[in-house]
Amino acid sequence: MNAASETAAAAAIAIDGPLAPSDVAAVARGARLTLSNAARERIAEARRIVVALSDQGIRGYGINTGVGALCDVIVDRPLQQALSRNLLFSHACGLGDPLGREATRAVMAAEINGFAHGASGVRLEVVEALVALLDADILPIVPSRGSVGYLTHAAAIGLVLIGQGEAMARGERISGREAMARIGQAPLVLEAKEGLSLVNGTPCSTGLACLALARFAELLDWADAAAAMTHENLGSQIGTFDEATLALRRSEGLQAVGRRMRRLLAGSALLDARIGQRTQDPLSLRAVPHVHGAARDVLTNAEIVVANELASVTDNPAVAGTVERPLVRSEAHAVAAALALTLDGVATAAAEVAAIAERRIDRLVNPLVSGLPAFLAPEGGIFSGYMIAQYAAAALVAENRRLAQPASLDGGITSALQEDMLLHATPAATKLLAILDNLRDVLAVELLAASQAYELQPIEGRASGTEGLYRRVRALVPAYADDRPMNADIAAMAALLALPAFAGDRS
């Protein structure tokens, strides 16, 4: 657990109204989640309505009917428990490596948030069991692949509640039955609708989206930090970030990046010594506020979409009314169109931030434009320095271009034409997380290369802002002299990039 996770673990978040994306990200990193009394009452009332629907024989999808193309098959009351149980088994067909700890916790937090709206109709015991598993950090093993939207991931979580499947408890792989025993509960016997609700809705894609947005926000700060260090090393023009000049373009993100760059580079003797040497800088330096700023604007808009998703009922069907006059509403709210389209846009933005960072790395290592020793090696010939690190960054950027293809356009037809269009919101979230991992590693290379470049400068005089960043890098990784595998240095930087780049300052 890193420092950010330790801080999150000390916090506690109560569900009363909808969670915010930042709340879900905090729970993903270890914060406790609790249910308010109001949330408990909403959950209990919705359950009473489901019982009333069943008692009165009112047809409700997945309550007393089959699901998907079997939605018109009536399921008699004695078989409704079996329907709920069978739904988990049949839907638990995910494949591949399991989700990581943070991703699993994010999905569970979003699932609990959804039930707390009081429109699903699961018993309070079901939700409390999910909360208890989170609190104990006993996490279902959730295969990461095989979902077009939500079903398979959620089914793997639901299995543990009935004593099936497997979970991880502090590094130990245990059965679902043992997981329930460790929170002091016997495996649950699911009632009508509970199996469907446990696999339905958008908690998987929404939870992963919350985690991705939090990571992207942090990496955007590090992208600004890396760009400032490179800018200073290459003797670029400080006028690039002039406030009045940047104000000519309307963008909150651009202005925020401009302010950050001015603060980081204030008082730089390296830049002062080169004032007026160029008319204007290349775009990978001059357009940092525009690219990083546009990405920040995309992030801001995405946070609104994800917040709306958390505030929405996405279970189908939703229940409402009263015990005397119960209502069941069949809808398509589990189709996360807004989320899928938005995450595809964020993926493109993150890939672009990585792409401009790689171009800055190339300028640092290229003696034709840097004015520094070739590939930032102290001596040429027998030393290759950062030559191949730039290759690695280029490879990650190329992979990001492939990953940035929109998942929301993949389409597909399932369930015998009943579900004849698909948005692939969960794959949109998982590929975004993969792009962010690549962005992190590209920024790690830039931070390392920029730190190495400082040590090869013919004059001294870093700005106080970049001096602090340089010292943070050097506290983790020493200067490079072809004396060890470089991939270990890049991997070590992941610990730094998991921490805030600027304590208490996101502007």
What burial class does residue 372 get, using C-beta atoms within 10 Å of its C-beta: 0-12 exposed, 13-18 middle, 19+ buried? Answer: buried
φ, ψ at 163 (rounded to 5°) = 85, 15
Nearest-10 Cα torsion for 477, 482, 486, 488 = -60
Residue reference for tokens 């999905």: 107
**pLDDT tens digits along 276-326:** 888 888 999 999 999 999 999 999 999 999 999 999 999 988 999 999 999
**CATH 1.10.275.10 for the 3-200 domain, yes or no:** yes
Residue reference for tokens 């992207």: 216
Residue reference for tokens 């406030």: 243
Predicted pLDDT at 239: 87
Closest CA to 110 of 311, 268, 297: 311
Residue 356 · residue 350 · CB < 8 Å: no
Predicted pLDDT at 152: 85
Compute the chain's Rg from CA coordinates: 26
* Residue 298: C-alpha distances to residues 333, 345, 386, 497 (Å): 24, 7, 32, 21
CATH 1.20.200.10 domain residues, the chain: 210-315+332-497
Alpha helices in 371-463 (DSSP H): 387-403, 425-454
What burial class does residue 416 get, using C-beta atoms within 10 Å of its C-beta: 0-12 exposed, 13-18 middle, 19+ buried? Answer: exposed
Question: In 198-344, at which residue ranges do the beta strands (DSSP E only) sit?
Answer: 318-321, 326-329
DSSP bridge pairs for 173: 168
Residue 327 · residue 346 · CB < 8 Å: no
Q: In terms of DSSP bridges, do strands 95-98 and 12-15 run parallel, antiparallel, or are they unpaired?
A: unpaired
Q: Cis peptide leading into 378, omega within 30 of 0?
A: no
Residue 25 · residue 208 · CB < 8 Å: no
Spans in the chain with pLDDT lower than 50: 3
| Residues noted as catalytic | 61
Distance between CA 266 and CA 271 in Å, rounded? 9
Within 13 Å and on the Cβ side, how many CA atoms surround 349?
Answer: 27
What's the N-to-C CA distance of the chain in angstroms?
27
Within 13 Å and on the Cβ side, how many CA atoms surround 14?
Answer: 7
Distance between CA 484 and CA 13 in Å, rounded? 44
Residue 337 · residue 221 · CB < 8 Å: no
CA 425 to chain CA centroid, nearest Å: 13
Distance between CA 146 and CA 278 in Å, rounded? 53
Return the CATH number of 210-315+332-497, one of 1.20.200.10, 1.10.10.10, 3.40.449.10, 2.60.40.10. Answer: 1.20.200.10
Residue 306 · residue 206 · CB < 8 Å: yes
Record the pTM: 0.93
Q: How many CB atoms lie within 10 A of CB 495?
A: 12
List the structure tokens of 435. Answer: 């792009």
